[in-house]
Amino acid sequence: MNEGPQAMGSSEINALLGRGSEFEGKLTFEGKVQIDGKFTGEISSEGTLIVGNGARVKAEISVDTVVIQGEVVGNIRAKGGVELQASARLRGNIHTAGLTVEKGAVFDGNCVMEGRESATRQPAQPSPQPTQSALVPEE
């Protein structure tokens, strides 16, 4: 059984988009918001987003922390962390400082993990491939 919003701490939820609700647009908020309905658009905050079990979100997401129990299609930038609970389904890329994936969660995409400070910046250029001499131990 999922612990729901309390999984990320004891602070109260500031707003809730309930089951049966649909919203399209840009969502910005402070604190903690839970989506249990359908949302399409952009989400940005320095707070915590909870995508509840049964929720369907199609959005570009930029937040501090996101907990996913439902379905998300879109890219996520989370300075603090991303938590994919067992019922989560995510199709998109993640750029974050920390990632937790419970058994049963589905993640189809790529993940870049960097420290909190750099998780909101553009991804760094890939580092050059190691040379052959770096891969072969010296005798």
Q: What is the pLDDT of residues 78-102, one digit of tens each?
A: 999 999 999 999 999 999 999 999 9
What are the sequence ranges of the domains in the chain? 13-120
Say if CB 59 and CB 72 are below 8 A apart: yes
- Confidence band, pLDDT 50/70/90 cuts, at residue 2: very low
What is the rounded CA–CA span in Å between residue 37 and residue 117?
A: 32
pTM of the predicted protein model: 0.75
Bridge partners of 23? 39
87 CB contacts (<8 Å, ≥6 apart)?
Answer: 2, 53, 69, 70, 104, 105
